[in-house]
Amino acid sequence: MALIRNKKRHGLIALSLILPFLAIFALVFAYPLYEVIRLSFTDAPLIGEGNWIGLENYIRLFSDRLFYISIKNNAYFVVLTVIPTTMIAMVIALAVNRLSGRWQALALVLFFTPYVLPVSVVTQIWAWMLDFQFGVLQPVFAFFTGKPVPVFKNPYWVLPSIAVVTIWWTNGFNVLLILAGLRNIPTDLYEAASLDGATRRQLFARITWPLLWPVTALVLTLQLILQLKLFDQVYLLSEGGPFNSSYVLLLMVYREAFQLNHGGYAAAISLILFLLIAVVSVLQYQLLRIGKGKDT
């Protein structure tokens, strides 16, 4: 009897511990997840009920030119950011890792500070640096192309420029992850290998690179997911333009839902974005695991 009461009490305590999270989770996560699926089959406006229209939103979406432009731009942006930022972060982390105490701390501050800035501060600063008339970086463009370039109003430059801004802003985070990975590698491995006469290139290829691979894979995966969710920088710097050359999926969700009042259609796009991210991240995770198996 006492045992049963105890068990019941144990259950109640457990319930009281998980309930706060569970209640919030149900309200602002699980319910909206169900709603986004349901709404995607209706023609609902942003606020208010719509009618069940089956797969119509999806049929419309797959014949919407803007949808394909967005996907293409999302993919292009991923290419422009994910591997470049990982490589840059690795070079910086390898360099920082070899500095001693105080200099290391200083270097980290210099490379990491942009990461703690709000996105709109970052975009304001870069909009000024790249200002067509007065931007401090325009002489650089003038040097290479012969004339200043209105980068955020130029279909060729807009996504690469936003990629540069994004890498500048978020790279410090990747540097820290890779640095943590480097610190996890036992130093006696290097000592032993050096005693055997390994060159520095061999040390990197045989010890650093393979042992760092789990962290590299983590950075690549996190970056891929993050960059697919691109919205803030594009909205603030180019609003998807010019001529939709920086239009991306999340911007499409925003436009459809909050400016054109197409809640149902926006829900369908959201769901596609969600599925895209889920599929791509699982695929990449698997691929990277295979890559690891081969290398080590």
Residues 116-155 that bind another protein (CB under 8 A): 116-121, 124-126, 128-129, 131, 133-134, 136
CA 256 to centroid of chain Cα atoms = 22
Closest separation in Å from C-beta 41 to another protein: 13
Q: Which residues pair with 42 in a beta bridge?
A: 52
Give the total of residues touching another protein (CB under 8 A).
88
Closest CA to 249 of 232, 265, 231: 231
| Residue 283 sits in the site that holds another protein (CB under 8 A) | no
**Dmax over Cα atoms in the chain, in whole Å?**
88
Among 71, 207, 225, 288, binds another protein (CB under 8 A): 225
| Residue 278 sits in the site that holds another protein (CB under 8 A) | yes
Contact predicate 214/292, CB 8 Å: yes
The residue among 243 and 274 lying less far from another protein, judged by its C-beta, is 274
Burial of 180 (0-12, 13-18, 19+ CB in 10 A): exposed
| Residue 112 sits in the site that holds another protein (CB under 8 A) | yes
- Tell which positions 229-268 bind another protein, by CB under 8 A: 229, 231-232, 236, 250, 253-254, 257-258, 263, 266-267
Contact predicate 70/253, CB 8 Å: no
The residue among 17 and 192 lying less far from another protein, judged by its C-beta, is 17
CA distances from 81 to 4, 49, 111, 112, 230 (A): 58, 40, 17, 17, 11
The residue among 77 and 168 lying less far from another protein, judged by its C-beta, is 168
- Tell which positions 21-60 bind another protein, by CB under 8 A: 21-22, 24-25, 27-29, 31-33, 35-36, 39, 46-47
Closest separation in Å from C-beta 205 to another protein: 20
| Residue 67 sits in the site that holds another protein (CB under 8 A) | no
Sign of CA dihedral 286, 288, 294, 296: negative
| Residue 186 sits in the site that holds another protein (CB under 8 A) | no
CA distances from 211 to 183, 217, 286 (A): 11, 11, 18
Closest separation in Å from C-beta 85 to another protein: 13
Q: Which stretch binds another protein (CB under 8 A): 53-61, 62-70, 97-105, 188-196?
A: 97-105
Closest separation in Å from C-beta 124 to another protein: 4
**Residue 41: CA count within 13 A, CB half-sphere:** 7
- Tell which positions 4-23 bind another protein, by CB under 8 A: 10-11, 13-15, 17-18, 20-22
Among 52, 62, 68, 103, binds another protein (CB under 8 A): 103
Helix (H, G, I), strand (E, B) or coil at 52: strand
CA distances from 188 to 9, 193, 196, 290 (A): 52, 8, 12, 28
| Residue 185 sits in the site that holds another protein (CB under 8 A) | no
The residue among 139 and 155 lying less far from another protein, judged by its C-beta, is 139
Read off the amino acid at residue 44.
Answer: A
Based on its alpha-carbon atoms, the radius of gyration of the chain, rounded to whole angstroms, reads: 24
